[in-house]
């Protein structure tokens, strides 16, 4: 089943709609064609009650006024690009330094603030196919990109995101979704007690601006080691320089034995709700962000709930941040004739 409802008027005048996708799996999602934002994601807990497990706002104004990229598609390039510029085949491209001296999450007007074409497809696994044509030199990036992102509620009770893109000129591309998850409900407070696992023995070192230094670090024996499941908050306030700089976790983990195929790569579990989320992806990395910069002074979430730091966690499947400045990193270039083709599935289960 798919329900379509009016959600507001975008700043440039276009109509924004919200689409609710639901089937018999017990999982349903509300997604808007403005930025491909996941407004709500309902999952049944161990008592059979539905909980909305992603942060978000009641109306379009909330998304326009607030920071944080809540639930949105990020593009062309997620996370930070140092110096707000890059070189490609000997030519320098200048980007908007929308965060200090660097560019982040697509620039001044990223894909999170664009209206996407929307095509709902009903059925046992209802889908919303979102399309966007990013013109040559939008936000300083070369090439006209044709992008498709398909959201689908699977029969097995998951939310699948399939990313596709083509370009007519060599460019860089590293997309993700920036949903903030709390398996006890977006209004439940800290995620410190929720248990996380990540299939990654290594991670990128970052500096005070959360930009990779180029060094790859082992996680074993550090506060960043989630190779054995542990509570997210166990080492929240460690003496690690990176945690002090970020106010919590804001790190890119590099998956083990990457082969380009879809694999189970991370999980999150709440004993309180009994909800377990498994993250399957064919991306090489995942950015883990524990909502460190959310503030009670910012725009309230749905129902007037105050934002709070560490009240959610993002699972941003991606390639390495700032890869365009590090030839040894995962390649984020896309050339004409190549097919950008990645999938991430958030699979839900209930454990008693």
Write out the two tokens for 61: 């104004």
Cα separation, 197 vs 59, whole angstroms: 33
Give the DSSP letter string of 14-66: -EEEEEEEE-TTS-EEEEESBTT-EEEEEEE-TTS-EEE-B---SSHHHHHH-
Cα separation, 290 vs 33, whole angstroms: 26
C-alpha distance across the termini of the chain, in Å: 29
> Is 162 annotated in the active site?
no
Cα separation, 70 vs 54, whole angstroms: 9
Give the DSSP letter string of 298-328: S---GGGPPP-TTS-EEEEEES-TTGGG-TT
> Is 22 annotated in the active site?
no
- Residue 225 has, within 13 A of its CA and on its CB side, a CA count of 7
- Give the active site residue among 178, 206, 243, 280: 178
- Give the active site residue among 138, 139, 243, 316: 316
The residues that are catalytic are 178, 316
């Amino acid at each position: 089943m798919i329900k379509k409802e009016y959600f507001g008027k975008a700043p440039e005048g276009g109509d924004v709609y919200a689409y609710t996708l639901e089937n018999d799996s017990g999982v349903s999602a509300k997604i808007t064609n403005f930025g491909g934002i996941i407004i709500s994601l309902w999952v049944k807990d161990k008592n059979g009650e539905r909980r909305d497990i992603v942060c978000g706002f009641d109306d379009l104004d909330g998304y326009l006024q607030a920071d944080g990229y809540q639930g949105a598609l990020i593009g062309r390039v997620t996370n930070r690009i140092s110096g707000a510029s890059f070189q490609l085949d000997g030519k320098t491209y200048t980007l908007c330094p929308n965060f200090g001296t660097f560019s982040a999450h697509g620039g001044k007007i990223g894909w999170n603030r664009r209206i996407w074409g929307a095509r709902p497809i009903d059925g046992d696994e209802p889908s919303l196919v979102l399309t966007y044509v990013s013109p040559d030199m939008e936000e300083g990036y070369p090439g006209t990109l044709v992008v498709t992102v398909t959201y689908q509620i699977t029969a097995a009770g998951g939310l699948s995101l399939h990313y596709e893109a083509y370009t007519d000129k060599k460019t860089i591309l590293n997309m993700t979704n920036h949903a903030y998850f709390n398996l006890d409900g977006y209004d439940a407070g800290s995620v410190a007690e929720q248990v996380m696992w990540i299939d990654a023995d290594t991670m990128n070192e970052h500096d005070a601006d959360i930009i990779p230094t180029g060094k790859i670090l082992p996680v074993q024996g550090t506060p960043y080691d989630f190779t054995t499941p542990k509570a997210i908050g166990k080492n929240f306030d460690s003496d690690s320089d990176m945690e002090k700089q970020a106010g919590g976790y804001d790190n890119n983990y590099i998956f083990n034995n990457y082969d380009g195929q879809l694999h189970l790569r991370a999980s999150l579990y709440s004993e309180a709700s009994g909800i377990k989320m498994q993250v399957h992806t064919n991306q090489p990395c995942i950015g883990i962000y524990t909502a460190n910069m959310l503030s009670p002074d910012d725009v309230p979430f749905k129902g007037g709930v105050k934002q709070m730091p560490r009240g959610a966690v993002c699972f941003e499947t991606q390639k390495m941040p700032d890869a365009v400045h590090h030839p040894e990193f995962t390649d984020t270039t896309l050339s004409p004739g190549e097919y950008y083709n990645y999938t991430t599935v958030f699979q839900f289960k209930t454990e008693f």
